[in-house]
Amino acid sequence: MRAQVRLGRVFGIPIGLHYTWLLLAVLITVSLGGYFGYRHEAWSEGLVWGAAVVTGILFFVSLILHEISHALVARAHGIPVGSITLFALGGVAQIEEDASRPGAEFFMAIVGPLTSAVIGFALIGLAMLGGWVPGAEPRTALVSVTLWLGYINIVLAIFNMIPGYPLDGGRVLRSIVWGITGNVDKATRAAARTGQVVAVLLIAYGLVRFFFRADVGGLWLALIGWFLFSAANASYAQARIAKHLRGIHVRDVMSARCVPVAADLSVQTFVEDYLLRGGHHCFVVNDAARNEPVGIVIPTDLRRIDRAEWPTMPIRRAMRPLAGIETVKPDEPLLGVLALMGRQDTSEVPVMDEGHFAGIVTRSDVVNYVHARTELGS
């Protein structure tokens, strides 16, 4: 999931917001405003909404801490982490490779709920130091905010330990099954199926609460169940793709036959003489003076150019300069290239072999390869 708003870096890990986070931020703030207003009728309107906003911000900080714990453990096991993104249903750490051992998977998964639980109990302890007694109402706004944050972090820890993939509890289950069977694919299938069952139960329970108890919160549970069901399906599909691509290298799927075009060729001539007639999708732009490739161009690159400029614009102004693109080598694992595409939000990556342009690898190449392997039943 790609962030639209960058917040900064923590331990070198980019932190960002997905646009759907705004929905969660509004829902959390409005819900907290209603909660504090109902529980503390003596509070002023300004205090109620001030407490709601501060609590909402601190809640998102706790979500970031939850995800950072995943990221740091992943790094400790030599697994790269691309970023952390907050979105409508919480946060996600973009861990770019699967764990190679069940033990690493277990610790990467369990540390998130443990972090949330530690935060929760620590905050409840602070509320007690502030004078709160279990069973009584908090006396001050500070204690009330602290107590709510403590409770919600404990709830977050418990929810994440539900044994439904891709929740943390589902990943814990996957690591245990993996450790017992020694088969990561079987473990992933079992955890995903469990996640689907849990999701269906959540959806059913949420709808029952909404229709038979007039509880609007049931719709939220049903939405979470739907998300979990979709995520379980998507995670299992990704695991199947990873299975097909394990041990496959860039050279096995890349397009090596990229058509050379002159850098001073007009976009109009390029389209008419090369793009529409040849049926190719990979073109390398050559600089005659330097006698070397300087960029690549694919059909989608032309969308940003006004057609009125095509007759006079040279193709070098539409190309992607090789100097500004991250490239890969033919012997690199294909799974790593897919992770690179996700980080760069691109569908194609140039391939360089000992400083020479060797071709290009695209998402379509990968999809076609996986489809062929699936059709062959391999």
C-beta neighbour count of 346 within 10 angstroms: 14
* Predicted pLDDT at 256: 73
Q: Where in the chain is the domain with CATH 3.10.580.10?
A: 250-376
**299 preceded by a cis bond (ω within 30 of 0):** no
The pLDDT tens digits along the chain (378 residues) read 566 678 788 888 888 888 777 877 888 888 889 888 888 888 899 999 999 999 999 998 998 899 899 999 999 988 888 788 877 666 777 777 777 889 999 999 999 999 999 999 999 999 999 888 888 888 889 999 999 999 999 999 998 898 887 789 988 999 999 999 998 888 888 888 888 898 899 899 999 998 888 777 788 788 888 888 888 888 777 777 777 777 888 888 887 777 888 888 899 998 888 888 766 777 888 887 777 788 888 777 888 888 899 999 999 888 888 877 888 888 888 877 877 777 777 777 888 888 778 888 888 888 888 778 777 765
Task: Tell me the CB-side half-sphere exposure of residue 202, using CA atoms within 13 A.
Answer: 23
CATH architecture observed for domain 250-376: Roll (3.10)
d(CA 119, CA 159): 15
d(CA 301, CA 321): 12
Q: CB–CB of 124/157 below 8 Å?
A: no
Listed residue (220, 227, 181) closest to 200, CA to CA: 227
Degrees (nearest 5) of the Cα angle 4, 8, 12?
120
Q: CB–CB of 149/62 below 8 Å?
A: yes
Q: Is 93 exposed, middle or buried (CB count within 10 Å of its CB: 0-12, 13-18, 19+)?
A: buried
* Predicted pLDDT at 89: 61
Q: Look up tokens 């932190």; give the residue.
A: 15
d(CA 143, CA 120): 13
User: For residue 11, which amino acid is it?
Assistant: F
Q: What is the pTM of this model?
A: 0.73
